[in-house]
């Protein structure tokens, strides 16, 4: 039994609320969750009794703990992709640059992520701060470090294909899924957004999104079809549909 399985089993046995575990990680970063915007009736807050139950009963949650440990809030309104990338690189234990705010310790942050010359060639930090990034740019920025990616546009995959690919990934260790979707399509405000998937509940056909804009929305459970449709929307910056990127070590 690996440590992740043991940890979840222990939580289930003693009934510690898993939503509180997320909150604990947030507090560990020195940032407290503020009051967030209300959710539509189609979405389920992870930090609720129903949300916790969905996680406990999930059979595809290998990504939940490693991502939760490295859960961060995006540094500015356009940095959802950067925050998501940083979480994944840290969860994969990719060799990181020094973080000046932590002395000589090495960890990926949203500031030092762009210290890599190859990363700057893909897209400079100041450009991302103004306009965010497309799905292809998300993939290219990830691959400026020793990881490999595979890009899937929402308009090119069926709901069944998306579900099968994402669930298989969430059942395996050491790989992750980042989704790029239109908030308005799922009843949120307002434009395109990027965040990691952390789990899937088969009984309800819902995916867990660890939303990196924690000042705005909590982690949510969303119907697979609703997420698929939100990823099949067109990104005006690229002229292509949004979608998802699968990430693993190179």
Catalytic position from the list 45, 211, 226, 235:
211
Is 211 considered catalytic here?
yes
Phi and psi dihedrals of 230, rounded to 5? -70, -25
Residues 147, 176: Cα–Cα separation, whole Å? 11
DSSP sequence for 91-143: HTT----B-GGGTT-B---TTGGGGSHHHHHH--HHHHHHH---HHHHHHHHT
Strand, helix or coil at 85? Answer: helix
Phi and psi dihedrals of 224, rounded to 5? -55, -45
Cα dist from 62 to 68, 97, 108, 208, 231, whole Å: 11, 26, 21, 12, 23
Catalytic position from the list 45, 63, 70, 80:
80
Catalytic position from the list 70, 153, 193, 226:
193
Please list the active-site residues.
80, 193, 211
């Amino acid at each position: 039994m690996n440590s992740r399985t043991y940890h979840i089993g222990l939580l289930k046995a003693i009934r510690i609320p898993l939503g509180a575990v997320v909150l604990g990680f947030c507090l560990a970063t020195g940032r407290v969750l503020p009051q967030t915007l209300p959710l539509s009736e189609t979405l389920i807050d992870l930090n609720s009794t129903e949300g916790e139950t969905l996680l406990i009963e999930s059979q595809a949650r290998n990504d939940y703990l490693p991502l939760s440990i490295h859960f961060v809030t995006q540094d500015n309104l356009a940095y959802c992709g950067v925050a998501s990338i940083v979480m994944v690189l840290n969860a994969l234990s990719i060799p990181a640059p020094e973080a000046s705010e932590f002395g000589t310790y090495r960890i990926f942050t949203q500031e030092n992520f762009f210290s890599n010359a190859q990363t700057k060639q893909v897209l400079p930090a100041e450009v991302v701060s103004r306009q965010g990034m497309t799905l292809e740019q998300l993939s290219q920025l990830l691959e400026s470090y020793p990881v490999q990616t595979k890009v899937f546009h929402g308009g090119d995959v069926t709901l069944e294909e998306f579900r099968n690919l994402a669930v298989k990934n969430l059942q395996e260790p050491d790989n992750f899924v980042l989704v790029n979707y239109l908030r308005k399509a799922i009843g949120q405000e307002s434009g395109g957004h990027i965040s990691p998937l952390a789990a899937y509940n088969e009984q309800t056909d819902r995916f867990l999104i660890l939303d990196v804009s924690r000042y705005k929305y909590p982690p949510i459970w969303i119907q697979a079809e609703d997420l698929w449709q939100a990823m099949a929307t067109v990104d005006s910056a690229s002229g292509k549909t949004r979608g998802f990127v699968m990430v693993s070590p190179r």
